[in-house]
């Protein structure tokens, strides 16, 4: 390990459907400004590469996931010849399963991660959520996994016609007509593969809980928000801190049952009005794009995850987030230079800050 560890972060695009990587970098630098952070990107135009303040010290292009696992590991080894990073924080859904299943490969390379165990990871998959929720007595919308168009329509009819069509790993579309369902089904199948999930629609407000599991069944800290200003695709571009013991209890039960290690985001929906029950929509096995918001309130979970990963003593105590604090996403234009783009495109590498020379 480097005397001061080098951290690699993925998921650096913050355009439409923002990815979490830049927020993770910003949070880490709040507590550990001296850290060297490198970005691993799949596209040379990932906006976080060009963001003053949040940009990584260096960036490297990874092969597309379609190139297969061998290409990924070969490229990772080649990158580590140039920048021997010590910690990897994956921030994209598609990366999670292969990395969770590759603990031995990571360990043999000396790469530290804060990932759940494979059993925990698989138990929270969308297709198995009903089983998990039954165990912890948490409501969840009825969900049916389908592999063909006939089953899609049959499932939609069973669930009242007005359903969400969801990708195996990511994305969801509200579909109210047969045409919309089929279009969403084909898109999900093409992008994320089988099965596609058809989920009952429960109308109401969405609540998200971001937290960090210690791997022994406890939540190190968490922040709950009510989504504000949802986009047409249902993504929240604002959130308001709430504190509801019922929500905290459900989160604690789920994480205890999974013995979850690492960051998580629980997504719930609750009908409007008093006493509405929370129904679990999904469990994301990573930091969400809004993870720097709690950090700005003193609940820095990316920093806590790093400390947990490396066995460090916390540099700053985690504070509870005060209800009523909110964030609103604000889009601004990043600027870049064609020379940076050229370096990324031709060499797969962009160096902003040279690495420290080690004795």
Which residues make up the interface to another protein (CB under 8 A)?
205, 207, 225-226, 240, 242-247, 270, 273-276, 323-324
In the complex with another protein, which residue's Cβ is closer, 112 or 226? 226
In the complex with another protein, which residue's Cβ is closer, 270 or 300? 270
Give min distance, CB of 302 to another protein, in A: 24
- β 196-200/205-214 pair status: unpaired
Phi, psi (deg, nearest 5) at residue 219: -100, 120
Is residue 151 within 8 Å of 137, Cβ to Cβ?
Answer: no
Count CB neighbours of 67 within 10 A: 12
Give min distance, CB of 258 to another protein, in A: 25
Give min distance, CB of 315 to another protein, in A: 29
Which ranges in the chain belong to alpha helices (H)? 21-31, 69-82, 93-100, 103-109, 118-123, 129-136, 149-158, 178-192, 245-258, 292-296, 301-310, 338-347
Give min distance, CB of 244 to another protein, in A: 4
Give min distance, CB of 201 to another protein, in A: 20
Is residue 243 within 8 Å of 323, Cβ to Cβ?
Answer: yes
Q: Which candidate, 123, 122, 325, places its Cα nearest to that of 225? A: 325
Does an H or E element contain 37, and which?
strand 36-41
In the complex with another protein, which residue's Cβ is closer, 242 or 351? 242
Give min distance, CB of 288 to another protein, in A: 17
- Per the rule left: phi > 0, alpha: psi between -120 and 50, beta: everything else, 333 is beta
In the complex with another protein, which residue's Cβ is closer, 72 or 327? 327
Chain-centroid distance, C-alpha 31: 21
Burial class (CB in 10 A: 0-12, 13-18, 19+), 203: exposed
Phi, psi (deg, nearest 5) at residue 79: -65, -40
In the complex with another protein, which residue's Cβ is closer, 65 or 323? 323
Give min distance, CB of 234 to another protein, in A: 17
Instruction: Report the C-alpha gap between 130 and 148 in whole angstroms.
Output: 21
Give min distance, CB of 324 to another protein, in A: 6
In the complex with another protein, which residue's Cβ is closer, 36 or 227? 227
In the complex with another protein, which residue's Cβ is closer, 33 or 275? 275
Is residue 116 within 8 Å of 285, Cβ to Cβ?
Answer: yes
In the complex with another protein, which residue's Cβ is closer, 177 or 319? 319
Give min distance, CB of 325 to another protein, in A: 11
164 three-class SS: strand
61 three-class SS: strand
In the complex with another protein, which residue's Cβ is closer, 98 or 323? 323
Is residue 185 within 8 Å of 149, Cβ to Cβ?
Answer: yes
């Amino acid at each position: 390990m480097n005397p001061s560890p080098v951290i690699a972060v993925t998921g650096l695009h913050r355009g439409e459907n923002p990815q979490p990587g830049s927020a993770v970098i910003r949070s880490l630098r709040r507590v550990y400004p001296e850290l060297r952070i490198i970005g691993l990107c799949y596209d040379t135009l990932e906006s976080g590469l060009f963001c003053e303040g949040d940009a990584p010290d260096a960036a490297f292009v990874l092969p597309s996931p379609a190139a297969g696992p061998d290409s990924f590991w070969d490229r990772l080894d080649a990158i580590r010849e140039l920048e021997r990073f010590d910690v990897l924080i994956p921030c994209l859904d598609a990366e999670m399963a292969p990395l969770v299943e590759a603990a031995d490969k990571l360990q043999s390379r000396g790469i530290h991660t804060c990932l759940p165990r494979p059993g925990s990871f698989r138990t929270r998959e969308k297709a198995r959520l009903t089983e998990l929720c039954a165990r912890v007595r948490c409501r969840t919308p009825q969900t049916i996994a389908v592999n063909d168009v006939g089953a899609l329509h049959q499932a939609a009819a069973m669930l009242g016609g007005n359903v969400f069509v969801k990708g195996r790993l990511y994305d969801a579309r509200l579909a109210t007509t047969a045409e919309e369902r089929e279009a969403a089904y084909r898109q999900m199948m093409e992008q994320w593969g089988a099965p596609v999930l058809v989920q009952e629609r429960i109308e109401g407000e969405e609540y998200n809980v971001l937290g960090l599991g210690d791997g022994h069944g406890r939540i190190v800290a968490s922040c709950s928000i009510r989504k504000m200003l949802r986009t047409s695709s249902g993504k929240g571009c604002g959130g308001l801190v709430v504190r509801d013991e019922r929500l905290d209890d459900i989160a604690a039960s789920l994480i205890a049952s999974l013995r979850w290690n690492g960051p998580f985001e629980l997504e719930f929906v609750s009908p409007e009005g008093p006493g509405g029950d929370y129904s679990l929509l999904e469990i994301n096995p990573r930091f969400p794009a809004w993870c720097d918001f709690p950090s700005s309130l003193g609940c820095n979970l990316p920093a806590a995850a790093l400390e947990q990963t490396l066995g460090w003593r916390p540099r700053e105590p985690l504070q509870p987030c005060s209800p009523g604090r909110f964030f609103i996403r604000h889009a601004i234009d990043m600027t870049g230079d064609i020379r940076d783009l050229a370096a990324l495109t031709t060499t797969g590498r962009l160096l902003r800050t040279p690495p420290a020379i080690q004795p």
